[in-house]
């Protein structure tokens, strides 16, 4: 099931990038990002009530809250630089460089999460790195 969700995420990420570029034609990138975040927050709150996950709030630990805060800060910085990049560059080039996060994720997951990677994963990441750089630089 994870692969279906991943493919759907990929489709919506591509659509998101194009929609952002259209929306940035007449708008400041930071204002656009802020409005998007507000709207996304509304959808998140609604989904919390739809699936009744609000009942789990009391089970959060201070450790998990810390990681959520850190992830939120990083998410903000990701979106900020993403919007600034899309406002200045071609969407396909920005997306190619942005997806190089896959390379960094693999490295960080091995170091911090001790995930095992196969030689095929390493070859795939090298090819992604090369492809992303070729798309972005040519």
The runs of H, that is alpha helices, within 24-118 are 29-50, 62-88, 91-98, 101-112
pLDDT at residue number 5 = 94
Contacts of 47 (CB under 8 A, 6+ apart): 53
Residues 6+ positions from 92 with CB-CB distance below 8 Å: 135
Distance, in Å, from the CA atom of 100 to the CA atom of 102, rounded to the nearest integer, reads 5
**Per-residue confidence (pLDDT) for residue 138, from 0 to 100:** 79
The whole-number pLDDT of residue 136 equals 87
In 3D space, the residue among 21, 20, 55 whose CA is nearest the CA of residue 39 turns out to be 20
Going residue by residue through the chain, which has 138 residues, state the pLDDT in tens, using 9 for 90 and above. 999 999 999 999 999 999 999 999 889 999 999 999 999 999 999 999 999 998 999 999 999 999 999 999 999 999 999 999 999 999 999 998 998 899 999 999 999 999 999 999 999 999 999 998 899 887
Whole-number pLDDT of residue 122: 93
**Which residue, 42, 20, 44, is CA-closest to 31?**
20
């Amino acid at each position: 099931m994870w692969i279906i969700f991943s493919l759907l995420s990929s489709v919506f990420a591509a659509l998101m990038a194009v929609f952002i570029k259209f929306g940035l034609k007449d708008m400041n990138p930071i204002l656009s990002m802020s409005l998007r975040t507000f709207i996304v927050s509304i959808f998140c709150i609604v989904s919390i009530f739809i699936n009744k996950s609000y009942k789990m709030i009391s089970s959060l630990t201070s450790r998990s809250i810390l990681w959520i805060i850190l992830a939120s800060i990083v998410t903000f910085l990701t979106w900020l630089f993403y919007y600034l990049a899309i406002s200045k560059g071609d969407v396909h080039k920005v997306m190619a460089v942005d997806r190089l996060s896959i390379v960094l994720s693999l490295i960080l997951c091995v170091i911090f999460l001790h995930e095992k990677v196969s030689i095929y994963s390493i070859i795939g990441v090298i090819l992604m790195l090369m492809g992303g750089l070729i798309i972005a630089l040519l």
